[in-house]
Amino acid sequence: MIRNIAIHDFATIERLDMELSEGLCVITGETGAGKSVIIEAISLALGSRADSAMVRSGKEKAIIQMIIELPEHFPRDDAPYLRASDDSEAILTREISVNGKSTARINGMIVTLSQLSSLTSKLVDIHGQYDHQSLFKTEKHLELIDFYHAPIILPLKEKIAANWKSYKASRDKLADLLKREEEARRRLDFMRYELAEIRQIDPKPDEDVILRERLAILQNSGYIFEKLTVARDALYDDRLSALSGLGNAMRALQDISEYSKDLDDIRNTISDCYYAIEDLAGTIRAKAEHIGFSHESLDETISRLDKIENLTSKHGGSVVTVLNHRDRLERELEDIENVDTLKTELSSVVSEQETALRTLCKTLTALRKEAASDLETKVNDELLRLNFNNAHFSVVFDESSDIISQNGVDSVEFYISTNAGQPSLPLAKVASGGEMSRMMLAFKAIIGDFDNIPTMIFDEIDSGISGVTASIVGKKLLAMAEKRQIVCVTHLPQIAACGRTHLMIAKSSDDSATYTSITTLNDDERAIEIARLLSGANVTETTLKNARELISLSNVSRS
């Protein structure tokens, strides 16, 4: 439960510290005193978005701190900021700077708003005077049904969501296959033509490079032969050839090599060069003998190169890309040829998955209808207790659609008839503000038994009611407070009289600023405040007597 809330430099609040107790805590104050400011500050401490405009004028930042006692068995495994604390409490801190920056901490550790909200959503449930509008939203109705019987419905929903994900993946895969098949069949002839052309030419890796080299040789064969002949003559055939000179040198050194090892080494080196030049000359001669020109060979080379270059220009600029395109075409054509088999297999998978899903959805619908029937009974009972006479609440299932989603196939909407003899109509179309307040209270009285949230905060949820109905609502809040902490901002004396702790908000001002303060009332002060709620500004002995009687009656109801 919330034990303490401290607010500094927030809107009209300079410094405020409020202690809350177990059971029903009521907060009252004149219109404009600052009740909504306190609720806004509490919302920020719980993780709502910050607005720098709420920083008190002239101050650099606002600070809201809340101390929440944790339930005995509250889970800590996924919250390191709790595991690090030995205390049985969570200290929440929000700082909002005038420059727009906002910081959130749990037990001194900086956290994200998502982490803060994740924790506080398990500890505090806050409802403003407009929060009942969630009952207007049809998409929320199914969530309420599912949450009402959560232990049996949510596991099945999770299973359906997982199966639906697989089903959707298979369905999308089939749709993609059909789309690709249609596109492929449109270009099937062209694909076959391209593949046949590549297969007919049958290019080899780097063949274009080899052909260009061969073409260059054929186109310049005369010039190449001439230069090879010059080179061979210079090495071998001329009277002054390199080989002739090396031979003379070798023979001269032969005669003196016996006189020195160095001279013999020189002779051996020249000998090695002689035979190397001789081999090289033979290679040049062989090369020259094979350099021949023929128009037929030139034409064949040009023709072959043209065909390959035509292919490479179409398919990426190289023989490698041509061969890759060939392999891709072969795979695609194979897929098209096997598409009927793939379609049959995928269609069978989709059909089986849909059948299994619809079976699960049918079970889910049955469970939801059981939950809806139980909820109808309990809500109608609660509405009677809340003086909602002749009202009839019902949950209507839309049977017109069988489209499967991850939530099943169901669509529901809440209907109500507020007067005897009137037909049931959608809740959002017929309920007044006071009726919606009681509807929300009825739902919270029922759903609250299942969510195990220790604290509920109601901000003027009593809007639009008075008299006997207000007394009934007060007793309902008191009954709910037996199991959890209830904090209720109210303007009704019947509800205020039921509080175990009564806090009063007041606003004052001087020449420079406005101030909001809060006071925990003692018994006498409480009687005066309830008398003010009964009669307005003029508190008389009669209204004080009536206030004390109202408090006394509330105490009797609590006992």
Extract the tokens encoding 135.
């009952």
Q: Which of 192-196, 361-365, 473-477, 490-494 is predicted most confidently?
A: 361-365
Amino acid letter, 444 = K
Long-range contacts of the stretch 513-520 (C-beta < 8 A, 24+): 513/14, 513/57, 514/12, 515/12, 515/13, 515/14, 516/11, 516/12, 516/13, 516/16, 516/33, 516/34, 516/37, 516/38, 517/16, 518/16, 518/18, 518/27, 518/38, 520/18, 520/19
Least Cα distance to 211 among 313, 301, 322 occurs for 301
Q: Which residue has the higher pLDDT, 388 or 153?
A: 153
Whether residue 274 has pLDDT greater than 60: yes
Rounded distance between C-alpha atoms, residue 517 and residue 27, angstroms: 12
| Domain interval for residue 58 | 1-123+453-521
Predicted pLDDT of residue 438? 73
In a domain, 297, yes or no: no
Predicted pLDDT of residue 61? 94
Average the pLDDT over 322-337 and give the result.
85
Least Cα distance to 476 among 451, 446, 521 occurs for 446
Predicted pLDDT of residue 486? 92
Q: How confident is the model at residue 181 (pLDDT cuts 50, 70, 90)?
A: confident
DSSP string for residues in 330-348: HHHHHHHHTHHHHHHHHHH
In a domain, 548, yes or no: no
Rounded distance between C-alpha atoms, residue 527 and residue 543, angstroms: 9
Least confident interval from 40-54, 141-155, 210-224, 266-280: 210-224
In a domain, 203, yes or no: no
Q: Mind listing the pLDDT tens digit for each residue in 400-443?
A: 888 999 999 999 999 988 777 788 888 777 656 666 667 777 87
Whether residue 68 has pLDDT greater than 90: yes
Cα pseudo-dihedral 517, 522, 525, 530, rounded to 10? 90
Contact (CB, 8 A) for 493 and 552: no
In a domain, 383, yes or no: no
Distances (CA, A) of 307 to 206, 210, 301, 527: 14, 14, 10, 105
Predicted pLDDT of residue 342? 85
Indicate the pTM of the whole model.
Answer: 0.62
Average the pLDDT over 52-66 and give the result.
91
Distances (CA, A) of 513 to 11, 55, 504: 11, 13, 20
Q: How confident is the model at residue 45 (pLDDT cuts 50, 70, 90)?
A: very high
In a domain, 37, yes or no: yes
Contact (CB, 8 A) for 64 and 7: yes
Average the pLDDT over 188-217 and give the result.
86
Total structural domains within the chain? 1
* Average pLDDT score over the chain: 85
Residue 220, helix vs strand vs coil: coil
Average the pLDDT over 449-477 and give the result.
80
Predicted pLDDT of residue 30? 85
Q: How confident is the model at residue 214 (pLDDT cuts 50, 70, 90)?
A: confident
Residue 455, helix vs strand vs coil: strand
In a domain, 205, yes or no: no
Predicted pLDDT of residue 437? 67
Q: How confident is the model at residue 559 (pLDDT cuts 50, 70, 90)?
A: very low
The number of residues in the chain equals 559
Contact (CB, 8 A) for 324 and 224: no
Extract the tokens encoding 365.
């619908």
Distances (CA, A) of 114 to 49, 52, 105, 337: 11, 19, 12, 52
Q: Mind listing the pLDDT tens digit for each residue in 280-324?
A: 877 877 777 667 666 777 788 788 888 888 888 888 888 888 899
Task: List helix spans (H) across 338-398.
Answer: 339-385
Domain of residue 2, CATH code? 3.40.50.300
Residue 114, helix vs strand vs coil: helix
Whether residue 240 has pLDDT greater than 70: no
Q: Which of 246-260, 264-278, 492-506 is predicted most confidently?
A: 492-506
Least Cα distance to 493 among 517, 519, 527, 525 occurs for 527
Rounded distance between C-alpha atoms, residue 104 and residue 113, angstroms: 7
Q: Which of 30-34, 432-436, 459-463, 545-549 is predicted most confidently?
A: 545-549
Helix axes 150-186 and 188-201, enclosed angle (nearest 10): 60
In a domain, 23, yes or no: yes
Q: Mind listing the pLDDT tens digit for each residue in 75-88?
A: 766 667 776 555 68
Average the pLDDT over 147-152 and give the result.
89
In a domain, 83, yes or no: yes
Predicted pLDDT of residue 557? 55
Q: What are phi and psi of 103, to 5 degrees?
A: -130, 135
Q: Mind listing the pLDDT tens digit for each residue in 486-524?
A: 999 888 999 999 999 999 998 888 877 888 889 999 999
